[in-house]
Chain A
Amino acid sequence: MSLDYVKFTPGFGKFMPKEYRDMVEHGPFGKKTAVSQVGTFKEIMEEHPMCAGCAMTLFIRLAFIAFPNPEDTITVGTAGCGRLAISQAAVPFVYGNYGDQNGVASGLSRGLRLRFGDKPKDVVVMAGDGGMADIGFAQTLHSWFRKEKFTTIMLDNEVYGNTGGQESGMTNKGQVLKMAPLGKKFEKMDMLGMAKVAGCAYVATVVPNNPRRVESVIKKAILIAREVGPTYIQAYTSCNIEYAIPTDQVMQDAKDVENDRYKFQEYITDEAKEHLATLYGYKEYLPKPAAAVTKG
């Protein structure tokens, strides 16, 4: 939880694996790295067992690049595919019981605030749609109602992917899946609407076929959660296995779904805008100069 935890004990560097040395020497710690520079610095995510061509993997990869201070961040996850990648990064990862992630993150972020005072320590929850909208639904909503200051990211693949294709609250109506052979009978849940009602200061949808946008919404969500209140990002991260999308068509699918039901939406409270403008120099949120009064 500080820059020191990634550094080598003097004299021991030479015994460390190359990947580790590269990460310490050329990783993003203590620097400002951006999606536009990928391929030239060592990313903090290492190899993992996620499926080839998985859009969720791409999203998680971009998320790690977007963290404003990876050295001061803790990720929280739960059962589901995402944890297989989230846990393979040089950022401490807490594995909550299935559905507990927002409860665990609440305690963690409060504890960090007590321990470190004003020094920002970011807590980021990343969990699947089943873990968040079904099993962890109460804990998710209650953390928002309590205005817990951390970021919640739903990896929405519209299915229970890790357990082989059951429908979730986030599956679309009529969708036939391996373990929903008659098709889902109910509408996709409106978690975005609920996040707003429950008091999130920032709510956004995003699809990984726009890496720069993924980077921008994650940065904003984390920075706002530091002082203003809970933030929620809902990311479409298709399951190419359960939805039988050929891996080279995953980005085409992301584009189609973005145009269909995942159009970019961003909701930000005035308080959050002011916070980004004054503390982090977001020019687009600076108050507009008052228009010149026209003489009448």
Chain B
Amino acid sequence: MYLVANIDQEICAATSCKLCTQYCPEANTIQYDTEAGKDKGLKYGSAYVAVDRCKGCAQCVWVCDNMAKHKAIKMEMIDQIGDQALTPNITYQEKNTKAVLASPWQS
């Protein structure tokens, strides 16, 4: 098993910093869903990780902890985080992306 980044939507959607999306070295990996969390009354939408592209470097964790100071990202074992965003289930919309969450183990 290996570690991937996992973003806490409750914390992320309460801010709108988007810093992690600019600092992940991998392209198309930290995506942004401007609607995420709005059903729970959170304001801004949330970043999420396409786990099949994440290389587990934890740079986003450093950026979220030290630059944004939100502490919304943790490295977790990929088999312990349930349903995740996978590239085949991500759709690009106008100025937004959306993922249908699925388990990385069934596809």
Contacts and interface: CB of A to CB of B under 8 A. Distances in A.
Contact of A61 (B25, B66, B95): B25
A43 to B, nearest CB: 4
Contacts of B97: 39-40
Contacts of A39: 18, 21, 30-32, 47, 97
Interface string A100-120: 000000000000000000000
Nearest to B89: A18
Contact of B58 (A26, A64, A247): A247
B57 A36 contact: no
Secondary structure dominating the interface of B: mixed
B101 to A, nearest CB: 17
A42 B62 contact: no
Nearest to A64: B27
Contact of A38 (B22, B55, B87, B88): B22
Contacts of A53: 25, 55, 57-59
Interface in B46-92: 47, 53, 55-59, 61-63, 66-67, 87-88, 92
Contacts of B9: none
Interface stretch (A75-83, A139-147, A224-232, A248-256): A248-256
Tier of interface size on chain A: 35 or more
Contacts of B21: 38-39
A22 B63 CA distance: 28
B59 A251 contact: yes
Tier of interface size on chain B: 20 to 34
B8 interface: no
Contacts of B30: 39
A58 B58 contact: no
Contacts, number: 89
Contacts of B58: 53, 247-248
Contacts of A44: 27
Interface string A44-57: 11110010111101
A50 B25 contact: yes
A284 B18 CA distance: 27
B62 A37 contact: no
Contacts of B31: 39-40
Contact of B26 (A41, A57, A64, A249): A57
A25 interface: yes
B44 to A, nearest CB: 13
A19 interface: yes
Given A18-B87, A43-B27, A47-B53, A248 B22 contact: no
B87 A42 contact: no
A10 B9 CA distance: 40
Given A25-B92, A42-B92, A251 B27 contact: no
B28 interface: yes
Interface of B: 18, 21-28, 30-32, 34, 47, 53, 55-59, 61-63, 66-67, 87-88, 92-93, 95-97
24 contacts: A19-B87, A36-B22, A38-B32, A39-B21, A39-B30, A40-B92, A40-B96, A41-B92, A46-B27, A47-B26, A47-B53, A52-B25, A52-B56, A53-B59, A54-B25, A58-B24, A61-B25, A64-B27, A209-B23, A211-B22, A250-B62, A251-B62, A252-B62, A252-B66
